[in-house]
Amino acid sequence: MKILDDILSVLDYKCAVRDIRIGLFQTAVSTRYCGLASTPHDVGGHHHRMPVKDAGHLLEKDACALAAMANSEIEIEAAIGMATINSLLEIDERRCVEINAADILARKGEGKRVAVIGHFPFIPRLRGVVKELWVIEKNPREGDFPETEAERYIPQAEVVGITGTAFTNHTIETLLKLCNPGTFVIILGGTAPLSPVLFDYGIDAVSGTRVVDEAAVLRCVSQGATFRQIRGIKLITMEK
């Protein structure tokens, strides 16, 4: 994907790969910093998942090779790649604010038509402030729409929130093309790369994660923590 290739092209790879953890809900990679990405869940069961190539030898790869796995068609490999990208990013926190995506979506979406790709815990809160809400989900819950409905609802939305896992499953570029000019677009979640490169693709804000206590994060990931259970992170947003 061009958007991924553009992010990869500006990274500094002069650092060692120090640790890799693939937990039940989150994947963590430590290079210059520690980065996170959501661990993909295959509803088909583990017997049908594609294995990670070179599992057991990933620490022997350099940071560039590991980050390039973000382009892999195997989602767990792509998650490792996204976590590596997030571990390599030099985030300019002077242009970031400590605010989470739920607050931004509630503010920008008040009284408007909103589409959210991915079912997040803040969805019930959002329903109370927006004019209309379409939640598009790969594994839809009650009230959600299947991903096949993206082409129908995203073009109608005035505000669009896209999960960072759209990088992992390689749908990000397709989803962005469905957004109308003038639509406020935010990428959100632990997988979302806090890279200004995204602003070249019509994205207005990125709400991601900065690891501030690596030991705590690695411990939580290794013990099967969900994103909300992880300690040692702060949620920050970079706006265009």
Looking at residue 190, the DSSP 8-state letter turns out to be: T
**Are residues 208 and 10 in contact, defined by beta-carbon separation less than 8 angstroms?**
no
CB 224 within 8 A of CB 25: yes
Compute the mean pLDDT over every residue in the chain, rounded to the nearest whole number.
94
Task: Look up residue 107 and give its two tokens.
Answer: 């503010």
Burial class (CB in 10 A: 0-12, 13-18, 19+), 181: exposed
- Condensed to tens digits (0 to 9), the pLDDT of residues 115-140 reads 999 999 999 999 999 999 999 998 89
- Write the single-letter amino acid at 214: E
Residue pair 137/157 in contact (Cβ under 8 Å)? The answer is no
- 194 with 96: CB under 8 angstroms? yes
Distance CA 175, CA 192 (A): 15
- Helices assigned H by DSSP within 30-74: 63-67
CB 190 within 8 A of CB 209: yes
Closest by CA to 166, choosing from 49, 65, 79, is: 79
Q: What is the pTM of this model?
A: 0.94
CA 21 to CA 35: how far, in whole Å? Answer: 10
Write the pLDDT tens digit of every residue in 159-205: 999 999 999 999 999 999 999 999 999 999 999 999 999 999 999 99
Please name each of the domains of the chain with its CATH number: 2-91+212-232 (3.30.390.100), 94-207 (3.40.50.11590)
Which pLDDT score, from 0 to 100, does residue 48 have?
55
pLDDT tens by residue, 44-103: 444 456 789 889 999 999 999 999 999 999 999 999 999 999 999 999 988 999 998 999
